[in-house]
Chains A and B, each alone.
Chain A
């Protein structure tokens, strides 16, 4: 089995998921309140687990989520726990979390995630145009 390039398009309630196995990059962008979050995030977790199990290359997770419901938050926690474990085992992993500058709640959510992690975690405000 080889790790794939994934490109799942966004819907009203689920984010776009893009992976680049060569660059060691996975991006989530959009809204996240799918009908069944656990089902939606299962292939995402599987991809990350597969990447981390494979070789020693760095992995970056890029998050550009404008809203997450609580079951998506739960799925993301599980994903980040997996990356945290890899980080503690000496792997190079990083998380870049982009949020809308005007949305204080989005910043607070990112900070709450960060509180429980030691992996490199950068919170980046972006100005939303239009």
Chain B
């Protein structure tokens, strides 16, 4: 890449307001989150819409970070997996939160099957599943509550979409798109 103009033009043409590509640390998640909220506040977005975007952003980035930092991964695997990308943009009257990260292919496929289940549910169905998941007992090493995807589906105004593509080096790349 000679310069960043083409990359920037691609992002801008897609309505991107903010993007980050790199390892998601907790402090990065906090800082970007502050930026997202500041931006939406200046846009005078309704409080509940602002919080929906923020909530999807947090669940998406913490999911990537929790996956990459699983206790069972060796150190070098964590470094390989914790290379996410997040793009927050606008499309017409909606905000779009897109996240992507490297995954082991079998995990990517499992995630896809999980999302297919969620996509098939309507809002009451999602709420019922959410409540059921909330009451389930978690393993002691569990980092997330398994609720993030359901929460994103509940906040979304259109069905979630995802893509899984092979990535050199034996990994796959998972992308998730949430329209709020």
Of B26, B52, B142, B151, the residue contacting A38 (CB under 8 A) is B142
The DSSP consensus for interface residues of chain B is helix
Contacts known (A12-B30, A77-B135); A70 close to B59, Cβ less than 8 A: yes
Contacts known (A12-B30, A33-B58, A70-B151); A103 close to B51, Cβ less than 8 A: yes
Does A70 contact B147, Cβ atoms closer than 8 Å? yes
Does A70 contact B48, Cβ atoms closer than 8 Å? no
Which A residues are in CB contact (< 8 Å) with B47? 100, 102-105
Q: Within 8 Å of chain A (Cβ to Cβ): is B148? A: yes
Contacts known (A36-B143, A67-B51, A106-B51); A74 close to B134, Cβ less than 8 A: yes
Q: Mark A94-130, 1 if CB is under 8 A from B, else 0.
A: 0000001011111000001000100000000000000
Which B residues are in CB contact (< 8 Å) with A70? 59, 144-145, 147-148, 150-151
Q: Within 8 Å of chain A (Cβ to Cβ): is B175? A: no
In the complex, what residue of chain B is closest to A70 when comparing beta carbons? B147
Interface residues of B in 26-55 (CB under 8 A from A): 26, 29-30, 33-34, 47-48, 51-52, 54-55
Q: Closest Cβ of chain B: how far from A40's Cβ, in Å? A: 12
Whole-angstrom CA separation of A67 from B36 in the bound complex: 14
Q: Within 8 Å of chain B (Cβ to Cβ): is A55? A: no
Which B residues are in CB contact (< 8 Å) with A106? 51
Q: Within 8 Å of chain A (Cβ to Cβ): is B138? A: yes
Whole-angstrom CA separation of A13 from B55 in the bound complex: 13
Does A13 contact B59, Cβ atoms closer than 8 Å? no
Whole-angstrom CA separation of A105 from B56 in the bound complex: 13
Q: Closest Cβ of chain A: how far from B32's Cβ, in Å? A: 11
Which A residues are in CB contact (< 8 Å) with B150? 70
Does A77 contact B30, Cβ atoms closer than 8 Å? no
Whole-angstrom CA separation of A67 from B135 in the bound complex: 20
26 A–B contacts from the bound complex (CB under 8 Å):
A12-B30, A12-B34, A13-B26, A13-B33, A33-B33, A35-B26, A37-B145, A38-B138, A67-B51, A67-B54, A67-B58, A69-B55, A69-B59, A69-B62, A70-B145, A70-B151, A73-B147, A74-B138, A74-B145, A74-B147, A103-B51, A104-B47, A104-B48, A105-B48, A105-B51, A106-B51
